Homo-oligomer: A and B are copies of this chain.
Amino acid sequence: MTFGEQPAYLRVAGDLRKKIVNGSLPPHTRLPSQARIREEYGVSDTVALEARKVLMAEGLVEGRSGSGTYVRERPVPRPIARSGYRPAGGATPFRQEQADGEVRGTWESSSEQAEASGAVAERLDIRAGDRVMCTKYVFREAGEAMMLSTSWEPLAVTGRTPVMLPEEGPLGGMGVVERMAAIDVVVDNVTEEVGARPGLAEELQALGGVPGHVVLVVQRTYYASGRPVETADVVIPADRYRVAYHLPVK
């Protein structure tokens, strides 16, 4: 069926895309079902399916099983404030947000001991294989996952103290800075390195995204007197959020 131009599924996807961006198919409307696409464009089931997949990978539409394929709202990515640490009310990234009065969030977490991998060991300035407490978080906003985080703390710092488990005890969920303060470790510095890459299927499934979507990855490390005491990888869907810093000059 081709005579020198682009594949059929790209042609169909392109036509539907045009209707979406020019407003002829506004957000929340259903686009033609696979069967109707097949008829309207005179293509096979596979082509119709593949065309829908292209638009889904671009984040323009979202398939709801049993219901239809719907045009997504294209949110302007919202900034997530990360300008250092704010003492008021706690210190997880979420608590920062809540202090801004902009986000109402919840989170789940699970911790387990592990041995530091080479990369983590380097970031924590310990030896690979040293014991660390590894905690995985899922942060939700209005019930929707918006951020994944994996943190590592050297057990050489927190081991055999009340704050060994980040989310348990009286200081559970209070954030790194307070928890460390409780064991007389004064956190005074933090570095954040922001990168980006295509999200892994596993991550995007948790974040409600689609394979191929871009995620921001923040590698954050807290320091006390020059020694790293916690490091974390924060994974954020880039189509919905930006990472915002506010810095003084000079």
Contact = CB atoms under 8 A, between A and B. Distances in A.
A192 interface: yes
Given A177-B249, A238-B196, A58 B211 contact: yes
A117 to B, nearest CB: 11
A177 B247 CA distance: 14
Contacts of A199: 58
Contacts of A191: 244-247
Interface in A155-206: 177, 187-202
Copies in the complex: 2
Given A84-B249, A249-B189, A57 B196 contact: no
A139 B198 CA distance: 25
A222 interface: yes
Contacts of A84: 247-250
A83 interface: yes
Given A187-B249, A191-B245, 4 more contacts: A17-B200, A79-B193, A83-B247, A194-B243
